[in-house]
C-alpha cells in the first residue's frame, strides 16, 4: 500500500462509470482435494460474465497435469493451461502449469521458476499478491480445499488493495487446512460451499459495479464518516477520525458491499447496534501488509548505516528501539533478527530493547507468540533462517532469545506518551494511513522519543514532510532519517490528553528486566557524590543479584575475578555480612519500610570493619543496601590467628556445599539445555521433513485425482474397444511377442477355431484352416523383428478351398513405440479374386474384339491437351509417340484440314456439356501418302475430378471406297436401265414401223428382247471370269433357229467387250432372223457358215455365209428396217457391213474393231 495507490484509487472510482463491464480476475487457490472443489465451483460459472479465473493448484512438478483436460469437461468456460504471456480474457479459465510460479502483470500471466525448494513454495500467495497489485479492487481470491496455509498471506494482499476474498466452507472441503488458515486471518468476506462461490462473486461484482458508478454512496459515506468514527471510538477506544479519508471511505464502502446494504445510513445503524460489526470494521481499517524484511534493500541500508555502527559504538548501554504500529510483529522481529545477527558478527553482547506497539491487541497477541505460517519463511533471508527460525507443524516460530528482545504492548502513537531515549524508531507504512493532522502530530512525537542523533526509519513512500528541522536525511532512498541536536519539547498534544483516557502504556512501565547497569544518578556530580562522599550502597534484586552499586565496597564484599554473571551479593559478602544478608533476603519486606541492622562487623583478609546496614526495599521489590561505617578499619595482625568457630564454619561449609550443588545443577541444566537444543533441532528437521512430505502428499492427492479421472476415461475407452471387438466382423487376432494369443474377434473363429481358454496359448498350437499356416507364423516373427507391415494372401485348407484371405500383419506398438506383439487382420478376398478373374476374362474378350475389329482406343485428357493411344489407334493415326503412348492434340490436329480441325475442336468442346456419345470422321495421309479415312466415336467421361474424352477410332477407308463403288454401280445400273427402256422404246417403235400386224409386232419384239436377254445372260455368266467370246455371242444368236450341227461356226477366240455386246447381239439377231425367215435356216435349202478372224490391228472380220443348195434368186425384201438396224449397229461397233449376194450364196461380212475405219 502506498499513497500513489490511494490517489489512483480515487481516480478509478470516478472513472468506473466506463468500467461497468470491466474484466475482474478471480484467483483460485487449491491444494489437496481441490480438483473436486474447483470443478464444482466452475460448473456454476457463467461464460458470459465479466469474470476470468486463474487456478493455482499445487501440482507435482515432475508430472504432467491433466487438470485442464479434466476441468474442461466440467465447465462451460474455456479452460487453458497457461503457457505464459497470455492476456487474461473473460470467460476463460487459466491453469498453472506444473513446476512453475505464476504471477500477473498488466493482466498478462507470467511464468517463472520457483526460487524456493519444494515444500517452501507458496504459489498461491505469490499469485494472489501479484494479482492484488495488478488488479486492485477488481481482484478476487478464492481459497479452496488444501492443507497448510498457502493463500493466507496472499489473501491479505488482496484485501489490502480492496479486493474480495471468498473461502470454501471448511465442512465442505476435503482438507480444511487452507480454508481454516484463511479464516484465521479474520479478513475473509464470504465463506461458501464451492457451488455457491460463483453467485457470491457475481453478486459482489454486480453490487460493486453498481455502487462504483454511484458516487452518491461515497458521498453518503463521507457524510457519515465522523459518526462512524465516533462509534468506533467508543467501542474500541481509538479515534480514526484523523485517518486518511480515502482509505476510510473505501474500507467502509467495502463493508457496505459485503453486507449488501443499501446506503451509509443503514451501515451506521448496523455499526451502532452491532458491536461485532464495529470490531470487524476496526480490524478492516487496520488491515495492512507487513512481512519479514519487507523491502529488503532498505533493510540492508538500515543495517549498514544504522545498526552496524550502533552496535560497534555501544559498549554497555542497552539498545532501545521503538516500532510503533507493529501489527503482527514481522517488522519488530526483522529488526531483532538483524541486530542479533549483527551482534554475532561483531562478537558483542548488548542489551536490546525493542518496544513494539500497536492498538490492535488481537494482532499483538499473535505477535507475541512469534508464530507465523511457514509460507512467510521465504521472506527471511536464507542465511538467517537456520539460526532465527524454528520450524513447527505448518508454522515456524521465532526463537525465544529473539522474542525476549521485544516487548509488545498496546500503545496508541497518536495519543499515548511516547517511549524515550530510543536509538531507532522504525515506523513503516503507518503514516500513510494518517491524515495530515495526525502526521504532523506524530513526527514531533518521534523526535521526542529519539535520543539525540537517534534514527527514524520510515516506509518507502513516507516522508518527514515539513519537519526537516527535526530530522535530516541519512539515506533518502531508504527513508532513513536522523534526529537533529535541536532540543525537544514534550509533544503538546499529548499533554492535554494525559488525563481522562485509558491507562496509557508508556515509558513508566517497567522498561527493563533489570540487567541495566546504569548509575542511579545520571549526573556526574551525583556520581561524584555517590562514589566519594555518600555511604557505600548496593542496589540489588530480591534474589540478591547486584543491579548497581556506588561507593567503595571493598570492605564488605570480596572481589571474585571470573564469572561476571555470578554477581550475587550474598556470594560476595565478607564474613560478618553474609549471615545477616541471608536473613534479610529471605524475609518478605514491605516496600518503603526501611530497616537497620546495627553493630555488624565484616571480616576480610586484611582487616575488619564495624558498620550498620540499612535495608531499603523499593516498590519493584528490589533492595537498596546502605553501609554506614561505625569505626575505623582495623587491619589484621599476622599473629592474630582466628579461632576456630564451629558455628561459623558449619554455615560456611553448608554454603560451600550449596554452591557445589548449585554448580552441579547448573552443569546438569546446561547439559539438559544442550540436549534440549539438539532435540529441538532434530524436531525442526522433522518438521521441515514433515512439511515436504505434506506437500508431496498434496501433490500426490492431486495426481491421484487426475489418475482416477484418467482411469475413468480408460475404462470408457476399454469398453468401446471391447464393444468394437464384439461387434466387428473383421477377423482379427492380436498376439504378444511370444506369439501367444492376446485378443481376437468372433469373426476369426472361421480361421482359427479358438476356444475360451485359448487366450494366452501360442498361436502355433492352434490348428488353423489355412494352408500356409507355418508361413503365417514365420511372417509374424519377421514383422515383430523388422517392425514393418506385411501383407500376404492365404487360402483356406477346406475341401472346397474356395476362400482366399488377404492377411495384414502389423506390429503391435506400445505408447513408447516398442513392438510388443503383432496384429493379424484378415480380409476376405474370395469374392474380389473371383471378380478379378471374371474381369480378366472380360478384358481379354474386349481386347480380342478390339483387335479383330481393328478398333483403336484413344483417351483425350482435356486438362493436359494430350491424347493417349493404344497400339491399334497409333497405327491408324500413324502417330509418332512422344512418350508413354500419348501425343499432343495439336500435333495430330496439324495434320488435318481446317474444316476437320474445326469440327473436332467443336465436338471436343461441346461434348463437355453433354452426356451422349459423339462421332466424327476425318482423313489423314499415311506414311505412303495414301489418304485414309478414319472414324472416331467417343464420349465424355469424368473420373476423379478430371475431364476425359474416351473413345475408339477405326479405319473406314475401304468401307468408304465400297460405298463409292456401290453408288457408282447404282448410277450405272440406273443408266443402263434407262438405256434399256430407251432401247425397248426404240425397238418398239422400230418394230412397229416394220410389222404389218400386231401379232407380228409382238413376235418381233419377243424375238429381239429375247435375243437381248440372252446376250445379257452371257454377261452374267461370264462375269468376273473371262471375257465373252465371239463364238458365244454367235451361239446365243443362233440358238432359237438351228442346231449347231447344221452350221459351221468357226473362228479364233475373239473377246467381245460389253460395249460391243448389245450391238453385236442385235446385229447377229437380225442376221439370224433374216436367215431363218428368208434364208437357209428357213425356207431355203442350204447351210450356214459363220467364220471370223482377227487381224493384227485388232480388226475383226466376221463372215455370215448362206450357202444355197439350189440356185436362188436375189431378194429385195431384205432391205428396209433390218438393213438400217444392221447399218447402225455396225456403226456402233465402229465397223461396216458388206453384203455379197449371189445365186449360190449370200455372204455378209462385218468388219469392226480398232483397226477398222468406219465411213
Site string for other proteins, 1063-1082 (x = CB under 8 A): x--xx---------------
Using the rule CB under 8 A, give the single segment among 175-183, 313-321, 527-535, 1134-1142 that binds other proteins: 1134-1142
- In sequence order, which residues have a C-beta less than 8 Å from that of residue 213 and are 6 or more positions away? 16, 17, 20
Cross-strand bridge partners of residue 1091: 1050, 1103
How far apart are CB 1046 and other proteins at their closest, in Å? 28
Using the rule CB under 8 A, give the single segment among 599-607, 825-833, 847-855, 1058-1066 that binds other proteins: 1058-1066
Residue 58 a catalytic site member = yes
Member of 490, 666, 724, 981 binding other proteins (CB under 8 A): 981
A 10 A CB-CB count for 205 gives 21
| Cα within 13 Å of Cα(598), Cβ side | 1
Residue 529 burial (10 A CB sphere; 0-12, 13-18, 19+): middle
Member of 117, 203, 296, 1158 binding other proteins (CB under 8 A): 1158
Residue 879 near other proteins by CB under 8 A:
no
Member of 675, 965, 1002, 1119 binding other proteins (CB under 8 A): 1119
Member of 985, 1019, 1093, 1140 binding other proteins (CB under 8 A): 985
How far apart are CB 952 and other proteins at their closest, in Å? 37
Residue 1138 to residues 1033, 1104, 1105, 1111, Cα–Cα distance (Å): 20, 10, 12, 21
Residue 986 near other proteins by CB under 8 A:
yes
Member of 974, 1140, 1142, 1143 binding other proteins (CB under 8 A): 974
A 10 A CB-CB count for 526 gives 14
Residue 1062 near other proteins by CB under 8 A:
yes
Residue 1058 near other proteins by CB under 8 A:
no
Rounded-to-integer distance, Cα 67 and Cα 573, Å: 78
Q: Which helix (H) or strand (E) holds 1031?
A: helix 1030-1038
For 462, left (φ over 0), alpha (ψ -120 to 50), or beta?
beta
Using the rule CB under 8 A, give the single segment among 699-707, 801-809, 987-995, 1095-1103 that binds other proteins: 987-995
In the sheet with 1100-1108, reading across from the earlier edge strand, the strands are 1047-1050, 1086-1094, 1100-1108, 1145-1152, 1136-1141
How far apart are CB 1025 and other proteins at their closest, in Å? 24
Residue 990 near other proteins by CB under 8 A:
yes
Q: Which of 1046, 1040, 1033, 1041 has the alpha carbon at shortest distance from 1150?
A: 1033
How far apart are CB 1059 and other proteins at their closest, in Å? 5
Q: Which of 546, 532, 509, 511 has the alpha carbon at shortest distance from 624?
A: 546
Using the rule CB under 8 A, give the single segment among 292-300, 524-532, 761-769, 978-986 that binds other proteins: 978-986
Tally of residues, the chain: 1159
Rounded-to-integer distance, Cα 317 and Cα 314, Å: 6
Q: Which of 931, 927, 907, 909 has the alpha carbon at shortest distance from 919?
A: 907
Residue 994 to residues 483, 1065, 1117, Cα–Cα distance (Å): 178, 19, 12
Member of 215, 235, 582, 1136 binding other proteins (CB under 8 A): 1136
CB closer to other proteins out of 226 and 972: 972
Cα angle 455, 458, 463 (rounded to 5 degrees) comes to 105
Using the rule CB under 8 A, give the single segment among 80-88, 240-248, 493-501, 1117-1125 that binds other proteins: 1117-1125
Using the rule CB under 8 A, give the single segment among 134-142, 611-619, 983-991, 1030-1038 that binds other proteins: 983-991
CB closer to other proteins out of 23 and 988: 988
3-state secondary structure (DSSP) of residue 59? coil
CB closer to other proteins out of 1058 and 1093: 1058
Q: Which helix (H) or strand (E) holds 925?
A: strand 918-925
Member of 213, 215, 713, 1132 binding other proteins (CB under 8 A): 1132
Rounded-to-integer distance, Cα 612 and Cα 598, Å: 4
Member of 401, 595, 738, 989 binding other proteins (CB under 8 A): 989
For 218, left (φ over 0), alpha (ψ -120 to 50), or beta?
alpha
User: If binding means CB under 8 A, how many residues of this protein chain bind other proteins?
Assistant: 36
Q: Which of 60, 126, 150, 189 is catalytic?
A: 150
Rounded-to-integer distance, Cα 447 and Cα 1086, Å: 192
Cα angle 218, 224, 228 (rounded to 5 degrees) comes to 120
How far apart are CB 890 and other proteins at their closest, in Å? 41
How far apart are CB 1126 and other proteins at their closest, in Å? 9
How far apart are CB 1129 and other proteins at their closest, in Å? 4
How far apart are CB 1140 and other proteins at their closest, in Å? 13
Quick check: 526 and 513 in contact, CB under 8 A?
no
Using the rule CB under 8 A, give the single segment among 86-94, 269-277, 911-919, 981-989 that binds other proteins: 981-989
Member of 5, 567, 582, 1124 binding other proteins (CB under 8 A): 1124
Member of 30, 480, 584, 1125 binding other proteins (CB under 8 A): 1125
Residue 1146 phi/psi, 5-degree rounding, is -135, 110
Helix/strand number for the chain, H first, E second: 33, 43
CB closer to other proteins out of 907 and 988: 988
Member of 1127, 1141, 1144, 1149 binding other proteins (CB under 8 A): 1127
CB closer to other proteins out of 31 and 1062: 1062
Residue 1048 near other proteins by CB under 8 A:
no
Residue 238 a catalytic site member = no
Q: Which of 31, 130, 695, 1015 is catalytic?
A: 31
How far apart are CB 1111 and other proteins at their closest, in Å? 24
Q: What does the H/E/C string look like for 189-241? A: CEEECHHHHHHHHHHHHHHHHHHHCCHHHHHHHHHHHHHHHHHHHHHHCCCCC
Residue 37 phi/psi, 5-degree rounding, is -65, -40
Residue 1098 near other proteins by CB under 8 A:
no
Member of 384, 507, 983, 1107 binding other proteins (CB under 8 A): 983
Cross-strand bridge partners of residue 24: 51
In the sheet with 804-813, reading across from the earlier edge strand, the strands are 741-744, 732-735, 819-828, 804-813, 790-795
Residue 1028 near other proteins by CB under 8 A:
no
Residue 1123 near other proteins by CB under 8 A:
yes
How far apart are CB 1012 and other proteins at their closest, in Å? 9
Residue 1116 near other proteins by CB under 8 A:
no
Residue 150 a catalytic site member = yes
Residue 1059 near other proteins by CB under 8 A:
yes
How far apart are CB 1055 and other proteins at their closest, in Å? 16
Q: Which of 40, 58, 409, 768 is catalytic?
A: 58
How far apart are CB 980 and other proteins at their closest, in Å? 9
Instruction: Report, as residue numbers or ranges, the catalytic residues.
Output: 31, 58, 150
Chain residues in the site for other proteins (CB under 8 A): 974-975, 977-979, 981-987, 989-990, 993, 1059, 1062-1063, 1066-1067, 1119, 1121, 1123-1125, 1127-1129, 1131-1134, 1136-1137, 1158-1159
Amino acid at each position: 500500500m502506498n499513497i500513489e495507490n490511494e490517489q489512483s484509487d480515487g481516480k478509478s472510482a470516478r472513472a468506473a462509470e466506463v468500467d461497468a463491464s470491466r474484466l475482474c480476475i478471480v484467483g483460485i487457490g487449491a491444494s489437496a482435494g481441490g480438483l473436486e472443489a474447483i470443478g464444482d465451483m466452475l460448473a456454476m460459472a457463467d461464460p458470459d460474465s465479466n469474470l476470468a479465473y486463474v487456478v493455482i493448484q499445487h501440482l507435482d512438478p515432475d508430472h504432467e497435469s491433466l487438470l485442464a483436460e479434466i476441468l474442461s469437461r466440467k465447465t462451460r468456460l474455456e479452460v487453458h493451461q497457461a503457457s505464459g504471456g497470455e492476456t487474461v480474457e473473460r470467460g476463460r479459465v487459466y491453469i498453472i502449469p506444473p513446476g512453475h510460479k505464476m504471477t500477473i502483470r498488466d493482466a498478462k500471466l507470467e511464468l517463472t521458476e520457483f526460487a524456493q525448494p519444494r515444500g517452501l513454495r507458496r504459489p498461491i500467495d505469490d499469485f494472489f499478491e501479484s494479482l492484488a497489485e495488478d488488479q486492485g479492487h477488481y481482484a478476487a481470491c478464492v481459497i479452496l480445499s488444501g492443507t497448510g496455509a498457502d493463500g493466507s498471506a496472499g489473501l491479505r494482499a488482496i484485501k489490502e488493495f480492496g479486493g474480495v476474498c471468498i473461502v470454501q466452507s471448511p465442512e465442505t472441503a476435503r482438507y480444511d487446512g487452507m480454508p481454516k488458515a484463511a479464516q484465521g486471518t479474520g479478513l475473509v468476506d464470504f465463506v461458501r460451499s464451492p457451488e455457491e462461490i460463483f453467485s457470491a462473486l457475481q453478486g459482489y461484482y454486480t453490487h460493486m459495479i453498481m455502487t462504483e458508478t454511484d458516487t452518491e454512496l461515497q458521498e453518503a459515506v463521507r457524510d457519515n464518516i465522523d459518526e462512524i468514527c465516533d462509534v468506533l471510538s467508543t467501542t474500541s477506544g481509538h479515534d480514526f477520525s484523523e485517518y486518511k479519508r480515502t482509505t476510510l471511505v473505501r474500507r467502509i464502502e467495502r463493508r457496505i458491499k459485503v453486507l449488501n446494504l443499501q446506503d451509509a445510513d443503514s451501515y451506521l445503524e448496523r455499526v451502532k447496534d452491532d458491536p461485532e460489526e464495529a470490531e470487524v470494521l476496526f480490524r478492516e481499517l487496520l488491515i495492512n501488509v507487513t512481512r519479514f524484511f519487507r523491502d529488503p534493500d532498505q533493510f540492508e541500508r538500515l543495517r549498514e548505516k544504522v545498526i552496524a555502527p550502533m552496535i560497534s559504538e555501544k559498549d554497555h548501554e542497552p539498545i532501545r528501539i521503538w516500532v510503533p504500529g507493529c501489527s503482527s510483529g514481522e517488522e519488530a522481529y526483522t529488526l531483532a533478527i538483524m541486530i542479533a545477527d549483527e551482534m554475532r558478527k561483531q562478537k558483542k553482547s548488548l542489551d536490546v530493547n525493542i518496544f513494539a506497539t500497536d492498538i490492535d491487541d488481537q494482532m499483538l497477541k499473535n505477535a507475541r507468540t512469534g508464530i507465523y505460517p511457514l509460507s512467510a519463511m521465504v521472506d527471511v533471508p536464507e542465511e538467517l533462517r537456520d539460526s532465527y527460525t524454528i520450524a513447527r507443524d505448518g508454522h515456524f516460530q521465532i526463537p525465544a532469545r529473539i522474542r525476549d528482545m521485544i516487548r509488545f504492548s498496546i500503545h496508541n502513537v497518536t495519543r499515548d506518551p511516547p517511549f524515550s531515549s530510543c536509538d531507532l524508531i522504525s515506523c513503516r507504512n503507518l503514516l500513510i494511513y494518517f491524515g495530515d493532522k495526525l502526521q504532523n502530530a506524530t513526527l514531533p512525537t518521534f523526535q521526542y522519543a529519539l535520543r539525540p542523533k537517534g534514527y527514524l526509519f520510515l516506509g518507502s513512500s513516507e516522508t518527514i514532510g515539513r519537519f526537516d528541522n527535526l530530522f535530516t536525511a541519512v539515506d533518502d532512498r531508504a527513508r532513513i532519517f536522523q534526529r537533529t541536536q535541536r532540543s525537544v519539547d514534550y509533544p503538546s498534544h499529548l499533554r492535554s490528553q494525559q488525563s481522562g483516557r485509558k491507562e496509557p502504556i508508556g515509558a513508566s512501565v517497567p522498561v527493563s528486566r533489570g540487567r541495566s547497569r546504569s548509575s542511579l544518578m545520571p549526573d556526574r556530580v551525583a556520581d561524584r557524590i555517590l562514589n566519594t562522599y555518600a555511604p557505600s550502597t548496593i542496589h540489588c534484586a530480591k534474589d540478591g543479584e547486584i543491579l548497581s552499586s556506588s561507593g567503595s565496597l571493598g570492605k564488605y564484599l570480596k572481589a571474585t575475578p571470573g564469572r561476571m554473571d555470578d554477581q550475587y551479593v550474598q556470594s560476595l559478602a565478607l564474613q560478618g555480612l553474609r549471615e545477616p544478608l541471608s536473613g534479610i533476603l529471605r524475609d518478605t519486606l514491605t516496600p518503603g519500610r526501611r530497616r537497620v541492622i546495627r553493630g555488624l562487623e565484616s571480616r576480610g583478609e586484611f582487616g575488619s570493619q564495624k558498620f550498620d546496614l540499612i535495608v531499603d526495599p523499593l516498590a519493584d521489590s528490589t533492595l537498596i543496601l546502605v553501609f554506614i561505617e561505625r569505626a575505623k578499619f582495623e587491619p589484621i595482625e599476622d599473629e592474630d590467628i582466628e579461632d576456630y568457630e564451629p558455628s561459623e564454619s558449619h554455615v560456611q561449609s553448608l554454603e560451600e556445599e550449596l554452591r557445589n550443588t548449585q554448580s552441579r545443577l547448573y552443569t546438569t541444566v546446561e547439559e539438559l539445555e544442550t540436549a534440549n537444543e539438539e532435540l529441538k533441532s532434530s524436531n525442526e528437521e522433522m518438521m521441515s521433513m514433515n512439511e515436504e512430505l505434506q506437500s508431496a502428499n498434496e501433490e500426490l492427492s492431486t495426481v491421484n485425482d487426475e489418475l482416477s479421472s484418467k482411469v475413468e476415461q480408460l475404462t470408457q475407452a476399454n469398453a468401446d474397444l471391447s464393444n468394437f471387438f464384439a461387434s466387428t466382423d473383421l477377423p482379427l487376432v492380436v498376439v504378444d511377442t511370444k506369439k501367444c494369443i492376446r485378443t481376437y474377434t468372433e469373426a476369426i473363429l472361421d480361421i482359427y477355431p479358438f476356444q475360451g481358454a485359448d487366450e494366452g496359448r501360442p498361436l502355433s498350437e492352434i490348428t488353423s484352416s489355412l494352408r500356409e499356416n507355418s508361413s503365417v507364423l514365420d511372417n509374424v516373427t519377421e514383422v515383430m523383428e523388422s517392425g514393418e507391415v506385411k501383407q500376404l494372401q492365404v487360402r483356406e485348407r477346406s475341401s472346397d478351398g474356395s476362400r482366399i484371405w488377404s492377411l495384414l500383419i502389423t506390429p503391435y506398438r506400445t505408447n513408447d513405440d516398442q513392438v510388443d506383439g503383432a496384429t493379424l487382420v484378415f480380409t476376405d478376398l474370395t469374392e474380389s479374386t473371383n471378380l478379378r478373374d471374371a474381369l480378366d476374362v472380360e478384358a481379354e474378350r474386349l481386347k480380342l474384339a478390339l483387335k479383330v475389329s481393328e478398333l483403336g482406343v484413344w483417351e483425350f485428357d482435356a486438362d493436359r491437351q494430350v491424347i493417349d493411344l493404344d497400339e491399334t489407334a497409333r497405327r491408324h493415326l500413324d502417330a509418332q509417340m512422344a512418350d508413354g503412348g500419348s501425343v499432343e492434340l495439336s500435333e495430330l490436329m496439324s495434320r488435318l484440314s481446317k474444316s476437320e480441325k474445326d469440327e473436332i475442336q467443336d465436338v471436343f468442346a461441346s461434348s463437355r456439356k453433354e452426356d451422349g456419345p459423339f462421332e466424327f470422321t476425318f482423313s489423314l495421309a499415311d506414311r505412303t501418302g495414301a489418304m485414309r479415312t478414319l472414324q472416331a466415336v467417343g464420349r465424355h467421361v469424368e473420373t476423379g475430378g478430371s475431364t476425359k474424352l474416351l473413345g475408339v477410332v477405326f479405319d473406314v477407308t475401304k468401307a468408304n471406297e465400297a460405298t463409292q463403288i456401290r453408288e457408282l454401280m447404282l448410277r450405272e445400273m440406273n443408266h443402263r436401265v434407262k438405256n434399256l427402256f430407251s432401247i425397248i422404246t426404240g425397238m418398239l417403235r422400230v418394230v412397229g414401223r416394220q410389222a404389218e400386224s400386231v401379232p407380228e409386232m409382238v413376235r418381233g419384239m419377243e424375238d429381239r428382247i429375247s435375243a437381248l436377254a440372252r446376250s445379257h445372260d452371257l454377261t452374267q455368266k461370264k462375269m468376273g471370269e473371262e471375257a465373252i467370246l465371239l463364238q458365244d455371242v454367235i451361239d446365243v444368236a443362233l440358238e432359237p433357229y438351228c442346231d449347231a450341227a447344221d452350221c459351221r461356226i468357226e473362228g479364233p477366240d475373239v473377246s467381245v467387250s460389253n460395249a460391243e455386246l448389245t450391238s453385236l447381239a442385235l446385229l447377229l439377231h437380225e442376221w439370224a432372223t433374216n436367215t431363218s425367215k428368208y434364208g437357209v435356216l428357213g425356207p431355203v435349202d442350204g447351210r450356214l457358215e459363220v467364220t471370223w478372224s482377227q487381224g493384227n490391228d485388232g480388226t475383226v472380220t466376221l463372215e455370215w455365209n448362206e450357202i444355197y443348195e439350189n440356185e436362188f434368186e436375189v431378194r429385195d425384201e431384205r432391205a428396209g428396217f433390218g438393213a438400217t438396224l444392221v447399218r447402225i449397229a455396225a456403226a456402233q461397233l465402229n465397223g461396216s457391213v458388206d453384203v455379197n449376194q449371189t445365186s449360190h450364196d449370200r455372204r455378209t461380212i462385218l468388219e469392226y474393231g480398232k483397226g477398222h475405219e468406219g465411213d
